[in-house]
Structure 1
Amino acid sequence: MDGILENLIAIIVCSAIMGIAAFFIIRHFKNMPKRTEALLDSAYELETVGIKRNASGYGGTYNNYLVSIYATASNMGHGRLRGNCFQVWLSTAPEPGQTKNIGGFSGKYMVLGEKNGYAMIGFIINKDMTNDCNSDMINELDRLIDVLKERGIKPFMIPN
């Protein structure tokens, strides 16, 4: 009988701890959708260069490249990859080997989903670490497009 009582107490205590932990986790992340929407609303100047707001962030064509921009709100501290960030991606059509070491040895730019004739190349802008996030995003887009053109990486064209 003592073993059953000890097991029952252990189950009750573990359940209480899990409930308290779930409460704090839910409370901590409860406002994330609102914070993400506010972050997206702050990038309204992107619409002046043809990048329009959509259901997942911003998207459109900029200098013939298909651009997708996503917001990532965070409660974490400040740092290059922490806090409130924008992920900026361009759809490209590289030849094999063209994206290797893009942006230098440290990899200033990220390459995602690379396969023959398609890759997304992008970067992250931390809103908390810049004075003018919109113009910094556009300037960094221009620099990335210059790098892509130097390497001969063409924009990805969606087939009709």
Structure 2
Amino acid sequence: MPTPSRRGNSECSHIRSVLDRVGDRWGLLVISRLLDHPKRFNELQQELEGISHRMLTLTLRLLEREGIVSRSALATKPPGVAYGLTPVGESLIEPVRALSQWARDHGETIRAARQRFDSAVLAKAERPAHRRQAFMQTFDAPTDFREK
């Protein structure tokens, strides 16, 4: 029987692996585009600005592997494929909508925090080199304990 810490590590590993897939750069956006109805590959690619053909293919395959997205062949000429959410994927609808709303509600606050942080880092980097050097020397100057 696993100890609580091992069970906890295993559980964390499992959660992390799922969140890595769902929460990666494109996973959540693909899922959000499939919330209303299944879509063809080209339709998804047009809706997801900036995603390459290869990255969309990879993302869809990985979401399919996780059981979140299903791939269905369409009886059309030429043959087509549609992607939709599985029941497991559909269970993500509310969390995805909630996270999207949170991002809309707090987006400006987050942008302002980033700007403040980046400005502080830039200001620190622009200090004159001789001031930085003198400051750093106070930490590595040897202390002379000999009597004079």
Normalising by structure 2, we get a TM-score of 0.25
- Higher-Rg member (1/2): 2
The structure with more strand, counted as a fraction of residues: 1
More helix by share: 2
Given the two structures, how large is their TM-score scaled by the length of structure 1?
0.24
